[in-house]
């Protein structure tokens, strides 16, 4: 299972823990499992066309993903996925 670590902002509003593990062989599959677990995440991470939102960045094992449109990056067991969300304000 791959482990997802969410940005503190998402974690604060949605989870009581920062890391959760999910099965899947692509980023899309792992995220789909996470969205099943916590449906409110979908709107923060994906737009209405199921593409990664512009203000969200995802890394797998420390490397930025390549496919922001279809999320086809390969995910293996024990991979670590980091979801970052840019925040603005003033």
Assigned token pair, 1: 């299972």
> Are 25 and 53 a contacting pair, CB within 8 Å?
no
* pLDDT tens column, 12-38: 766 666 788 999 999 999 999 999 988
**Number of domains the chain is built from:** 1
For 2, the enclosing helix (H) or strand (E) is: strand 2-6
Share of the chain above pLDDT 90, in %: 68
Q: Which pLDDT value is given to residue 88?
A: 65
Q: Is residue 79 part of a domain?
A: yes
pLDDT exceeds 90 at position 46 = yes
Q: Is residue 34 part of a domain?
A: yes
pLDDT exceeds 90 at position 60 = yes
Q: Give the range of the structural domain holding residue 68, as residue numbers without chain letter.
A: 2-85
Q: Is residue 90 part of a domain?
A: no
CATH code of the domain in which 45 resides: 3.10.20.30
Q: Is residue 63 part of a domain?
A: yes
For the entire predicted model, the pTM comes to: 0.89
């Amino acid at each position: 299972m791959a482990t997802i670590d969410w940005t503190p902002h998402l974690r604060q509003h949605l989870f009581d823990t920062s890391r959760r593990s999910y099965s899947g062989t692509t980023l899309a599959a792992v995220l789909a499992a996470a969205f099943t677990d916590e449906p409110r995440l979908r709107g923060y991470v994906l737009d209405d066309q199921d593409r990664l939102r512009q203000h969200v960045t995802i890394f797998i094992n420390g490397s930025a993903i390549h496919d922001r449109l279809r999320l086809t990056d390969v995910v293996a067991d024990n991979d670590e996925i980091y979801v970052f969300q840019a925040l603005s304000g003033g």
